[in-house]
């Protein structure tokens, strides 16, 4: 079976062609494949109304666009504050400049999209109050001078709206917007990465975080498609396993290297600038002592993993140091998360921290960024072990996924942790999964029969 590239690549075709697995010519207002089959083409949602109205008969508003127009209703509540006038007006003006030649759908709904970002999406991107403020105020201000960051903001907001709505048409409409917006932003972003300056470093750093959020969602979709293949007969399981490995490592590499590539050359600027609260965590506790019997039990589980490769009588290998370092960093991450979890103030902040498949609430996690400390700090040597499908590397990854699962009620993390564990299970095989029984149980994961 030929190899396929992972899902994070750009795919511009309409939804119908994707489902039928045929090449879309992207002809607007409707591709020729949909015209021949008399299907509703999703490209209709992205066509200027002036072009649609040029047909010989009046053209109704496409259903997906009509649905999208209905959902932009916002109510001012304490949890949904009115954005500052300056943030809304300046970002809206910049939005209109970015899309002056774009479909009227974007132009007419720009203010609502910006409003949703400022009052909803931005609040989901952080739990620490100062960091939330950065997303609500500083980053929109920075975006006014960097169009690719505006496109990134709209992509993330559209993904969020796609997740919020239950109607299939609305989901599809907003998902299509997200894909287009991310496509529009990437070229300019990549060009500027070759020349990081004091003027563009903050915009680049903010955008790198938005790309990770976007990749979480595409990772979920791609891995779900791969896992569905495992339920079919006569499927090439080594190929499926290799593809699961590729998409899993691809996401880890982006978490590890995306922001680092910007922070390393520009730390002196970013650490003193408007995004310092995102980049720095000076307020994290240095005390990593364990707080409860559960924390001791989990640390003991992690410590025992070292016995997988440190076997008496077997020769020492250089990879053992790589695995040991990654495992020690994971134990430190568990301890940090424990220190940042307040079990006496459940509901006090926006991130509940849940235990196991029954979603027992442990408390509130003051900063979920602590969970991502581990992938960001991974060594290149560990990533190489992953590329080589080293089973013990994926055992460690599966145990990190337990932490990720505990905050998986976040809209962009649903299903991500389970894919990491399923990938480890596929690599280990049915006869060697005892070392990941705990992650499987914690996630309540039902593995496909063919995996």
Predicted pLDDT at 64: 35
- Structure token pair of residue 444: 């309540």
Predicted pLDDT at 72: 26
Domain boundaries, the chain: 15-220, 279-443
Predicted pLDDT at 411: 92
Helices (H) and strands (E) in the chain, counts: 22, 3
Predicted pLDDT at 154: 92
**Peptide linkage before 314 cis (omega within 30 of 0):** no
**On the CB side of 140, how many CA atoms lie within 13 Å of its CA?**
29
Predicted pLDDT at 290: 85
CB of 421 within 8 A of CB of 227? no
Give per-residue pLDDT as tens, 269-327. Answer: 999 999 999 988 888 998 888 878 889 999 999 999 999 998 776 766 789 999 999 99
Predicted pLDDT at 292: 85
| CA nearest neighbour of 156 among 137, 182, 135, 133 | 182
CB of 72 within 8 A of CB of 109? yes
Give per-residue pLDDT as tens, 16-62. Answer: 676 566 777 766 546 667 655 555 555 443 332 222 222 333 333 33
Q: In degrees, to the nearest 5, what angle opens at C-alpha 43 toward C-alphas 24 and 94? A: 125
With 0.85 as the threshold, say if the pTM is over it: no
Predicted pLDDT at 412: 93
CB of 371 within 8 A of CB of 333? yes
Using DSSP, state whether 108 is helix, strand or coil. Answer: helix
Mean pLDDT by 10 residues, the chain (451 residues): 36 60 64 60 38 31 32 32 56 70 64 85 87 90 92 94 90 90 91 94 96 92 88 86 93 89 92 92 87 90 93 76 97 94 52 55 82 94 95 97 92 93 94 94 85 71
């Amino acid at each position: 079976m030929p190899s396929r590239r992972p899902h994070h690549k750009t795919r511009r075709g309409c939804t119908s062609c994707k489902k039928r697995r045929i090449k879309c010519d992207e002809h607007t207002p409707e591709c020729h494949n949909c015209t021949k089959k008399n299907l509703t083409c999703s490209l209709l949602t992205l066509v200027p109304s002036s072009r649609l109205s040029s047909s010989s008969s009046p053209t109704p508003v496409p259903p997906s666009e009509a649905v999208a127009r209905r959902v932009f209703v916002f109510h001012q509540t304490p949890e949904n504050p009115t954005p500052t006038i300056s943030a809304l007006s300046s970002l809206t003006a910049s939005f209109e400049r970015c899309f002056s030649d774009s479909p009227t759908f974007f132009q007419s709904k720009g203010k609502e999209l910006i409003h949703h970002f400022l009052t909803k999406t931005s609040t989901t991107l952080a739990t620490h109050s100062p960091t939330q403020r950065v997303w609500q105020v500083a980053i929109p201000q920075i975006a006014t001078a960097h169009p690719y960051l505006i496109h990134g903001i709209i992509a993330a907001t559209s993904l969020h709206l796609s997740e919020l709505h239950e109607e299939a048409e609305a989901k599809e409409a907003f998902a299509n917007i997200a894909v287009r917006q991310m496509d529009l932003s990437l070229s300019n972003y990549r060009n500027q990465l070759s020349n990081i300056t004091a003027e563009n470093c903050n915009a680049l750093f903010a955008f790198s975080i938005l790309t990770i959020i976007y990749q979480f969602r595409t990772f979920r979709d791609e891995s779900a498609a791969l896992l569905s293949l495992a339920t079919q007969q006569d499927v090439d399981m080594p190929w499926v396993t290799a593809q699961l490995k590729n998409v899993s490592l691809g996401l880890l590499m982006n978490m590890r290297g995306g922001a680092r590539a910007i922070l390393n050359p520009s730390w002196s600027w970013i650490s003193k600038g408007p995004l310092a609260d995102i980049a720095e965590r000076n307020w994290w506790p240095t005390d990593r002592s364990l707080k409860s019997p559960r924390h001791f039990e989990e640390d003991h589980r992690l410590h025992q993993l070292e016995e997988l490769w440190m076997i008496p009588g077997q020769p020492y290998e250089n990879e053992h140091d790589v695995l040991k370092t990654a495992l020690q960093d994971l134990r430190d991450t568990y301890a940090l998360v424990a220190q940042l979890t307040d079990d006496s103030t459940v509901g006090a902040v926006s991130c509940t921290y849940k235990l196991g498949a029954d979603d027992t609430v442990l408390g509130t996690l003051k900063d979920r960024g602590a969970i991502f400390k581990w992938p960001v700090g991974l060594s290149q040597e560990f990533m190489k072990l992953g590329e080589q499908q080293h089973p013990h590397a994926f055992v460690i990854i599966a145990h990190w996924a337990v932490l990720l699962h505990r905050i998986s009620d976040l809209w962009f993390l649903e299903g991500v942790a389970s894919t990491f564990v399923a990938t480890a299970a596929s690599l280990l095989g049915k006869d060697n999964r005892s070392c990941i029984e705990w992650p499987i149980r914690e996630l309540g994961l039902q593995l496909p029969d063919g995996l």
